[in-house]
């Protein structure tokens, strides 16, 4: 979703009904304290995924507020990052 509130609601719902979350916060990763708080608040592991290598992009994109609250952050593996995130959740 492109709507921060919808993502927060989805994280809270997933925290009640799922065993883990694969999460791509997109541009919200470096701007949203509210999403970071939602990731931290839920009681299931979250693996953050970025298709591109955020550390090879513009300086302002290199900091992920949400990654600090996640179990792990996968960046730069393209779509394979989603499979790697699922594998990380299955191994936990």
Locate the domains of the chain by residue range.
4-91
Provide the whole-model pTM: 0.92
The per-residue b/e assignment along 45-54, b for 16 or more CB within 10 angstroms, e otherwise, is bbbbbbbeeb
Per-residue confidence band for 65, with pLDDT thresholds at 50, 70 and 90: very high
Q: HSE of 62 in the Cβ direction (CA atoms, 13 Å)? A: 6
Phi, psi (deg, nearest 5) at residue 8: -65, -45
Q: Are 66 and 40 in contact (CB under 8 A)?
A: no
* CATH 3.30.56.10 corresponds to the domain 4-91: no
pLDDT over 90 at 25, yes or no: yes
For position 61, what pLDDT does the model report?
Answer: 84
């Amino acid at each position: 979703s492109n709507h921060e509130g919808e993502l927060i609601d989805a994280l809270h719902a997933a925290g009640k009904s799922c065993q883990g979350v694969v999460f791509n916060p997109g541009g919200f990763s470096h701007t949203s304290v509210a999403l970071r708080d939602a990731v931290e608040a839920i009681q299931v592991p979250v693996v953050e995924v970025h298709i591109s290598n955020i550390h090879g992009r513009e300086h302002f994109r290199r900091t992920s507020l949400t990654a600090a609250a996640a179990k792990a952050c996968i960046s730069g593996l393209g779509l394979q990052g989603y499979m790697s995130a699922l594998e990380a959740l299955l191994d936990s």
